[in-house]
Amino acid sequence: KSVEIGRIRMSLNLLEFKNGHVNISSAAMPPVYHFSKKNNSVNEIELVGTPLGSFYDEEFDKYQVDFEDGDALVLMSDGLPEAPNHTGELLDYPAVKKCIKDNGSKSASGIKDSLIELSDNWLDGIQNPDDITLVIFKKKESGGIAKA
């Protein structure tokens, strides 16, 4: 028996850590957030791209960011910013960005826990209709990279 599944597409972020920089490319993913310890600021990196598999000759932009000691990169699915509360209002990206700025000096796990707490408080006991996936990279003072 044959099953017709149509065209398969995939969203993807690709990061290359190299010589104190990170090269970022994206296919249909939410923004990547870069917390700069030096500037105590968060840069929202929005790369426009269609899902992989949409077009055979699609090209994707690449963005390079300095990744210094104490900096963090936050990648996520759209389930966090698009989480609805009891009235149907979405959490939205500015609230996520503020949470990252307020907690960017924490460890990778600490940033992740802060974003989970933001989600839990916003949802206030209701089930989110979408998954929430978080990936946090934190540049250690020793030069290594912590992940959560």
What domains can you pick out in the chain, each with its CATH number?
12-147 (3.60.40.10)
Residue 5 has a pLDDT of 73
**What is the model's pLDDT at position 17?**
95
For residue 33, what pLDDT is reported?
98
User: What pLDDT sits at residue 141?
Assistant: 84
Residue 53, pLDDT score: 75
pLDDT at 93: 97
Q: Rounded to whole angstroms, how far apart are CA atoms 136 and 148?
A: 5
pLDDT of residue 27: 84
**What sign results for the dihedral spanned by CA atoms 134, 136, 15, 145?**
negative
- Residue 114's identity, in one-letter code, is S
Q: Which residue has the tokens 């929202």?
A: 44
Maximum Cα–Cα distance for the chain, whole Å?
A: 60
Q: For residue 59, what pLDDT is reported?
A: 81
90 and 118 Cβ atoms separated by less than 8 Å:
no
Q: Which stretches in the chain have pLDDT values below 50?
A: none
